[in-house]
Amino acid sequence: MNRPAQTGSSVQQGGLVVFSLDMRAVDLIVKKRDGGALAADEIEFLINGYVAGEIPDYQVSAFLMAAFFNGMTGAESGALTRAMINSGTTMDLSALPGPLVDKHSTGGVGDKVSLILAPLAAACGLQVPMMSGRALGHTGGTLDKLESITGYSTALDADRFAEIISQCGYAMTGQSRDIVPADRLLYAMRDVTGTVESVPLITASIMSKKFAEGAEALVFDVKSGSGAFMKTLDDSRRLAESLIATGESLGRKIVAVITRMTEPLGYMVGNFVEVVESAYCLMADRAPSNFRYPADLMDVTIRLTEWMLVAGGVSDGVTEAEKRCRDALADGSAYERFRQNVAAQGGDPELLEAGLESRRSPERQTLTADQSGYVTDIDAYQVGMAGVYLGAGRSKTDDEVLADVGVELYRKVGDEVRAGEPLCTIYAESTSSLEEAARRVTSAYCIDAAPPTVEPLILDELTSL
Ligand code: URA
C-alpha cells in the first residue's frame, strides 16, 4: 500500500527534489534492509519527504533500523549528512571576527563539559557557536541541562545566535524548524527506536549540526566505554575516523579526542545538578568550601579547550593553551562569560546562584556501602538509565524532562570507602522512580578489597590539523 504523496510529481524545495515519480519509501527501506547501498538522491528523497511530513515516522524508523543493522558506506553517510544540512538553512556568521571553533561530544553520562568549556573558550579569545542536542538514550543533553536554568532559552534564530556570540563569545542553541530540521526529527526518532549506536547515523547527526552552525574548526569528544554509544576503543576510533573524514570533506579542521566514559564524568548526573557542578567549576576558588572538585571532568574539559585554542590558531600548542585556560578560570573571566550568557539567553544569574545549593527534587535516598574497600566500578550506563527513570531523559518523544532530579555521587572509582559510608544521593519526583533509580545505581557500584587500576581519561587523539 502506498500513499500517493510518496509517488507524486517532483517538487522543488530549497533546490532539492522532494518527491519523485518513481521513488517509494518502502522500496528504499527494502533495499537498505537487504544490504544495498542507497544513492544520494534516494537518501535525499527520504530525508526531504520526512521533513515535509510526507514520509511517516513508521517508515523512517524502519529505515533507521535497516541502516543500524546493515551500516552505510562512506558515500551514503556523506550523502545523509549533506541531505540533513540541506533540509534547512545554515547560519551565516561571517560578520563575526572569529576564530569560530566549537566542540561536540558523542554523548556520555554526567557529561556537562560544554557548559564549562564554552565560556572558558570564549574567555580565552574564541567565538563558540554551539548547536547542541537533547538527552539521547541513556545520555544527558546539553539543551535539557541549560533549560533547567529558569528562563534560559535554547531556541535562538540565526540573528540572535550571532548577536549573543558577539556579546559574550558564545551562544547555545538547538536544531529548529529552520536549521537542520532533519536532525531535530531524526534525533528524537532514534532516541526512542533503539537506533542511536550507529557510526554513520551519529556522524551525520553531529556533522550536519556542526556544519550548519558555521564553526570553522571542530573538536570532538568521542566517548568510549559503558556510558558511551561506542563501548570499545576500536568502535570509538571508527567513529572518530568517520567524523574526521566527513568533517574534512566539508572543509572543516577537525580534532577528535577519545575519552574514557566508563564511570560518570564528575559527581553530578541530571539536569540542574549538572548546572550546579559546572557553575562551581567555573567559579574555581570562589566555589563553596564543601564543593567536591571533579578532577576528571576538569581534565577532560581543559584538554578539549586546549585543542580548540590550537585549532582556532590562538595558541601555538597545547601547553600554552593549558596555561590560558587555567588563568581564565583563576581570574574569574570564564565565570563572567557564563553569567553574561545566562542573562543573554533569558536567565537571571542571581536567581540561578540563589538556587545552586537548594534546588533538588523532594524525594531522596542516600545509598551506602555494604562493605569496606575500594570503588572499582560505577557502571555509567546504569547510572545514565537511572537518570532516564528519574525523568532527566526521555522514554517517548513527547516526554517532558524534569529539571531537579538526579544523582549526586560522593565516591568515584579508586576511592576508599568504609561499610555504611554514603556512596551517593538520588533526587526524585516520585517514590516509584526513586526505587527504580536506586536499584540501578546500587547495581552500578562495585566495591572490592583491592584498589583498581584506573585507566587514563584521554585514550587517544586524532587530528587533521
Ligand atoms: N550527539 C549527536 O548530536 N548526535 C548523535 O547521534 C549522538 C550524539
Residue 276 has pLDDT above 80, yes or no: yes
Question: Interior CA angle at 169 toward 165 and 171, to 5°?
Answer: 45
SS (H, E, C) the chain: CCCHHHCCCCCEECCEECCCCCCCHHHHHHHHHCCCCCCHHHHHHHHHHHHCCCCCHHHHHHHHHHHHHHCCCHHHHHHHHHHHHCCCECCCCCCCCCCEEEEEECCCCCCCHHHHHHHHHHHCCCEEEEECCCCECCECCHHHHHHCCCCCCCCCCHHHHHHHHHHHCEEEECCCCCECHHHHHHHHHHHCCCCCCCHHHHHHHHHHHHHHCCCCEEEEEEEECCCCCCCCHHHHHHHHHHHHHHHHHCCCEEEEEEEECCCCCCCEEECHHHHHHHHHHHHHHHCCCCCCCCHHHHHHHHHHHHHHHHHCCCCCCHHHHHHHHHHHHHCCHHHHHHHHHHHHCCCCHHHHHHHCCCCCCCEEEEEECCCCEEEEEECHHHHHHHHHHHCCCCCCCCCCCCCCCEEEECCCCCCEECCCCEEEEEEECCHHHHHHHHHHHHHHEEEECCCCCCCCCEEEEEECC
pLDDT at site 190 = 95
Q: With a 6 A CB cut-off, is 205 part of the ligand 1 pocket? A: yes
**Ligand 1 centroid distance, CA of 75 (Å):** 19
**Ligand 1 centroid distance, CA of 133 (Å):** 7
| Average pLDDT over the chain, rounded to an integer | 94
Give percent above pLDDT 70 in the chain: 95
pLDDT at site 20 = 56
| Residue nearest to ligand 1 atom 8, measured at CA | 106
Q: What is the mean pLDDT of residues 242-257?
A: 94
User: Residue 12's pLDDT band (boundaries 50, 70, 90)?
Assistant: very low
pLDDT at site 8 = 39
pLDDT at site 423 = 98
Residue 17 has pLDDT above 80, yes or no: no
Residue-wise burial string across 369-391, b where 16 or more C-beta atoms lie within 10 A, e elsewhere: beeebbbbbbbbbbbbbbbbbbb
Question: Interior CA angle at 135 toward 239 and 121, to 5°?
Answer: 70
Residue 19 has pLDDT above 80, yes or no: no
Residue 388 has pLDDT above 90, yes or no: yes
Q: With a 6 A CB cut-off, is 107 part of the ligand 1 pocket? A: yes
pLDDT at site 378 = 98
What count of Cα atoms within 13 Å lies in the side-chain half-sphere of residue 173?
28
Specify which residues 254 forms β-bridges with: 218
pLDDT digit string, tens, across residues 303-355: 999 999 999 999 999 999 999 999 999 999 999 999 999 999 999 999 999 99
Sheet holding 217-224, edge to edge: 101-105, 217-224, 253-260, 458-463
Residues with a catalytic annotation lie at 104, 183, 190, 205, 209
Residue of 105, 131, 136, 197 to mutate, ligand 1, most atoms within 8 A of C-beta:
136
Q: With a 6 A CB cut-off, is 305 part of the ligand 1 pocket? A: no
pLDDT at site 3 = 36
**Ligand 1 centroid distance, CA of 212 (Å):** 14
| Residue nearest to ligand 1 atom 2, measured at CA | 206
Residue 367 has pLDDT above 80, yes or no: yes
What count of Cα atoms within 13 Å lies in the side-chain half-sphere of residue 197?
18
Q: With a 6 A CB cut-off, is 202 part of the ligand 1 pocket? A: yes
pLDDT at site 399 = 83
Task: Indicate the range of 1-15, 108-122, 207-221, 255-269 predicted with least confidence.
Answer: 1-15
pLDDT at site 398 = 79
Residue of 138, 205, 211, 218 to mutate, ligand 1, most atoms within 8 A of C-beta:
205
**Ligand 1 centroid distance, CA of 11 (Å):** 30
Residue 10 has pLDDT above 70, yes or no: no
**Ligand 1 centroid distance, CA of 114 (Å):** 14
CB count within 10 Å of CB 297 equals 24
pTM of the model: 0.93
Residue 148 has pLDDT above 50, yes or no: yes
Q: What is the mean pLDDT of residues 208-226?
A: 95
pLDDT at site 2 = 36
Name residue 15's amino acid.
G
Name residue 448's amino acid.
D
Which residue would you say has higher pLDDT here, 394 or 372? 372
**Ligand 1 centroid distance, CA of 220 (Å):** 11
Q: With a 6 A CB cut-off, is 133 part of the ligand 1 pocket? A: yes
pLDDT at site 1 = 31
pLDDT digit string, tens, across residues 81-121: 999 999 999 998 989 997 999 999 999 999 999 999 999 99
What count of Cα atoms within 13 Å lies in the side-chain half-sphere of residue 16?
23
Which residue would you say has higher pLDDT here, 11 or 9? 11
Query: Which cell numbers hold the place of 210?
Result: 556542526
pLDDT at site 21 = 57
Euclidean distance between CA atoms 168 and 154, whole angstroms: 15
Assess contact for 341 and 353: CB atoms under 8 A.
no
Which residue would you say has higher pLDDT here, 6 or 130? 130
Assess contact for 266 and 277: CB atoms under 8 A.
yes
Residue of 134, 183, 187, 229 to mutate, ligand 1, most atoms within 8 A of C-beta:
187
Q: With a 6 A CB cut-off, is 106 part of the ligand 1 pocket? A: yes
Q: What is the mean pLDDT of residues 29-49?
A: 98
Residue holding cell 522512580? 433
Task: Indicate the range of 178-182, 199-203, 271-275 predicted with least confidence.
Answer: 178-182
